[in-house]
Chain A
Amino acid sequence: MTDFLNALVILANFILVPGLAYGSQLALGALGVTLVYGVLRFSNFAHGETMAFGTMLVILVTWMLQGAGASFGPLPTALLALPIGIAGAVVLCLVTDRLVYRYYRRQRASSVIYLIVSVGVMFVYNGLIRFVIGPRDQNFTDGQRFIMKAREFKNMTGLNEGLAIKTTQAVTLGTAVVTVGIVFWFLNKTRTGKSMRAFSDNEDLALLSGINPDRVVMIAWIMTAALATIAGTLYGLDKSFKPFVYLQLLLPIFAAAIVGGVGNPLGAIAGGFVIAFSELFVTFAYKRVVTYMVPESMAPEGLVQILSTDYKFAVSFMILVIVLLVKPTGIFSGKSL
């Protein structure tokens, strides 16, 4: 029985807890991608860099706050800096829309043109970020490191295996729940949110009903920038901030949005968790778990790992491929074509 519990604790420690945190980060990212897709009808390749840009601002403000001696008790100071980061990212997105995307919207350009333009925007952002903060690693996490340490858990339960919960993981999950709650409340209960959904559903009909397209687009960008900054900051707190990582995050985020069904907010969240957990399930070495579960003589020699961790990004690609082959509209049937 203890063996079984020990095995469960390992799984919880290495898959459940990190998966919940990583899944929330991906879900928030995918929500932003899906919102842009729903309203502006293109896959925003610059989304990863928007995340990085917002996070960069948060880091700069955090440093200023830390320098001024401010702190948020056991929680990371970055949470205090978040609103300013969001404001900066919103400005960036709105300026980009005004200078770049609006022209193509007026032209009713095809979605592939938007794709190229968004790749161009991505590189401009990328250059901007490297110009301001440089290409190196930045650490900005402070506050208490753990809510529960592995040793405390062992002492508490008397088990061999420990369960550690980092503060950043709890903060991630909490922030994500609050953010998603606000987004869904906005989309379903407010007049503006409803008009956004109507616009996303059927643009012409929405225009005929007197919905102002510029306003809808503006609100979509504001929400996207906010979501991107929150997701980016949470990821940066949990791991660390490296500008190029956000480009690599683009693939899991797109995969999450497509798995859930592009344009479907609920699907984006489900997709985020599907991708995060599959990544961890597939790249986790089950050796210790199996050792606890089977008689001693049958203990495995290898790592019992389906795929080496080097290939964690390949997992999201494989899931993407399976979804494209089996159900291109995604689990929650977003828009296809």
Chain B
Amino acid sequence: MTMSGRNIGLFALMALLLMSVGFIQSWDVSLTLLNLCIISAIMALGVNIQWGYAGLFNVGTMGFAALGGLAAMLVSVPPVTAAWEAGGAGVVGGIVAAVVTVIAGMYAWRKTADMGRSRYWVTGLVVLVGYVVLRSLIDPAVSAIEKVDATKAGYLGGFGLPIIFSWLVGGVFAAGAAWVVGRISLGLRSDYLAIATLGISEIIIYMLKFEDWLTRGVKNVAGLPRPVPYEVDLNESAGFQSWATGMGLEVETASSILVKLCYAGLFSIVLLVVLYLSEVALRSPWGRMMRAIRDNETAAAAMGKNVTSRHLQVFILGSAVIGVAGAMLTTLDGQFTPTTYQPLRFTFLIWVMVIVGGSGNNWGAVLGGFVIWFFWIEAEPIGHWLMSTLTSGMEEGHWLRLHLIESAAHMRLLTMGLVLLLVLRFAPRGLIPEVKR
């Protein structure tokens, strides 16, 4: 993994920016930024696998990240036994019915190929019957579950395992969703994948918001267990107190910084593993094949490469990486809040990271993740300051001035959109361009 001096310089500049925040604002803020930068970088790597390697346009990053978040919640939260007793059997039965319905529907579709128009009706009827069975099993179970201790639980809970497992499970969840979407829409026109991913991500968010038995919906699940120590425990431990005072730090500041450093360490390991694997994959014959397919599908197909199934493979891999990052984000937040998933933050911003960083280059994606996240957060104070300064010539209570200052927050949308358009137009290769091999 050689890097040119210019690239090292760019990363050093980024580190300097983060450190200057540490000196000017506080190290706490700087480390919070760093942690989110790392997560953004992993998401950007996932999108880069899809877009940079294979030219697939995924507009549903948000949905895959949310599935990762769901995994973090389901893995770590202890099961609600009363809810399982009330409706566990019904829910399991409903899920079995759903699987059977899908299989039966596919079977009916295959077996009725020579029936003409009645094919649609037969398949439709099979699915409808299955759906009625599913609903009759799941509906009473769901209302029973939601009645169990509704203020605190009202859902099935999870598995009570260490939350760190969820990073893997999140990847698997996202990969599963990607498989379904990819099977349906890959191999058709390229827009269809974009539209299908846009749709599935919206639906995933709706499910997380409204299926209270699974996620508590908008009531959120707070207090997820952590993979790192709690500040409170550190503050109370005598050993830590003496260590912190020995270092010349206040105990509370030291504990908060230490916890964030622990997260940063864990996240860095994941980032390095993903980055290493992506680089190896990119250099392998597999990576060469992906680039060949991206650059000329017809020629690659003529060479005997199965374009659609390669696309499916790479789409699943990229989505899994996004799912892992989504699970990490929820772990860091310590709570699962379906309403925080916004397309702007989880889909569009990630795209800007990849394009600005340099599509097709993993280091570029990582740098893009850091840079864009940094400015995304720091843009708010800057924008507010800029608006106040620009309008300082106006009267104090002038409506235009108030409106402009109030709307400064929306400037971020505009700015990021412009950044994307300008980079695409004038520097389509990004900060760290793809290496021609």
Contacts and interface: CB of A to CB of B under 8 A. Distances in A.
A130 B191 contact: no
A302 B139 contact: yes
Interface string A84-113: 000000000000000010010000001111
Interface of B: 55, 57, 59, 120, 131, 139, 184-185, 188-192, 194-196, 198-200, 202-203, 206, 209-210, 343-344, 348, 351, 355, 406-407, 410-418, 420-421, 424-425
A197 to B, nearest CB: 20
A44 B199 CA distance: 15
B214 to A, nearest CB: 14
A258 interface: yes
Contacts of A117: 421, 424
A124 B202 CA distance: 21
A279 B140 CA distance: 25
Interface string A291-325: 00000000000100010101101101100110011
B418 A115 contact: no
B192 A123 contact: no
B203 A317 contact: yes
A250 B198 contact: yes
B184 A123 contact: no
A251 B198 contact: yes
A134 interface: yes
A78 to B, nearest CB: 23
Contacts of B206: 310-311, 313-314
Interface in A251-278: 251, 254-255, 258
A123 B416 contact: yes
Q: Main SS of the interface on chain A? A: helix
Given A116-B424, A313-B202, A321-B184, A123 B344 contact: yes
Given A43-B194, A310-B210, A120 B420 contact: yes
B192 A314 contact: no
Interface in A133-155: 134-135
A53 B330 CA distance: 35
Nearest to B199: A317
Interface of A: 42-43, 45, 100, 103, 110-113, 115-117, 119-128, 130-131, 134-135, 247-248, 250-251, 254-255, 258, 302, 306, 308, 310-311, 313-314, 316-317, 320-321, 324-326, 328, 336-337
B253 to A, nearest CB: 37
A306 B139 CA distance: 12
A321 B193 CA distance: 11
A306 B131 CA distance: 9
Given A103-B425, A123-B420, A313-B203, A134 B407 contact: yes
Given A112-B55, A117-B424, A324-B188, A124 B417 contact: yes
Contacts of B199: 251, 255, 313, 316-317, 320
B175 to A, nearest CB: 19
Contacts of B418: 124
A130 B412 CA distance: 11
Nearest to A99: B421
Contact of B411 (A112, A127, A336): A127
A120 B424 contact: yes
Given A111-B190, A119-B351, A127-B412, 18 more contacts: A42-B191, A111-B189, A115-B190, A116-B351, A119-B348, A119-B420, A126-B417, A127-B410, A128-B414, A131-B407, A131-B410, A134-B406, A317-B202, A320-B195, A324-B184, A324-B192, A328-B189, A336-B189
Of all A-B residue pairs in the complex, the 9 with the closest CB atoms, nearest first, are A127-B414, A127-B413, A123-B417, A124-B417, A130-B410, A317-B199, A120-B420, A43-B191, A310-B210
Given A123-B413, A313-B202, A317-B200, A115 B184 contact: no
A127 B420 CA distance: 13
Contacts of B57: 112, 115-116
30 contacts: A42-B191, A43-B191, A45-B194, A110-B190, A113-B424, A115-B57, A119-B420, A120-B417, A121-B421, A123-B344, A123-B348, A124-B417, A125-B417, A127-B410, A127-B417, A128-B414, A130-B407, A131-B414, A135-B410, A250-B198, A251-B198, A254-B198, A314-B203, A317-B199, A317-B200, A320-B196, A321-B184, A324-B192, A324-B196, A325-B184
Contacts of B351: 116, 119
A309 to B, nearest CB: 10
A229 B189 CA distance: 28
A235 to B, nearest CB: 18
A223 to B, nearest CB: 20
A103 B421 CA distance: 12
Nearest to A325: B184
A115 B191 CA distance: 7
Contacts of B415: 127
A248 B420 contact: no
A80 B406 CA distance: 31
A163 B152 CA distance: 43
B411 A131 contact: yes
A177 B407 CA distance: 38
A162 B202 CA distance: 35
Contact of B59 (A119, A316, A317, A325): A119
A269 B406 CA distance: 40
A2 to B, nearest CB: 30
Nearest to B181: A321
A120 B421 contact: yes
A187 to B, nearest CB: 22
A130 B413 contact: yes
A299 to B, nearest CB: 17
A268 to B, nearest CB: 15
Nearest to B185: A324
Nearest to B203: A314
Nearest to A324: B184
A258 B418 CA distance: 29
Contacts of B192: 258, 324, 328
A320 B420 CA distance: 29
A32 to B, nearest CB: 15
A337 B407 contact: no
A111 B196 CA distance: 16
Contacts of A110: 190
B368 to A, nearest CB: 14
B60 to A, nearest CB: 11
Contact of B195 (A130, A134, A254): A254
B413 to A, nearest CB: 3
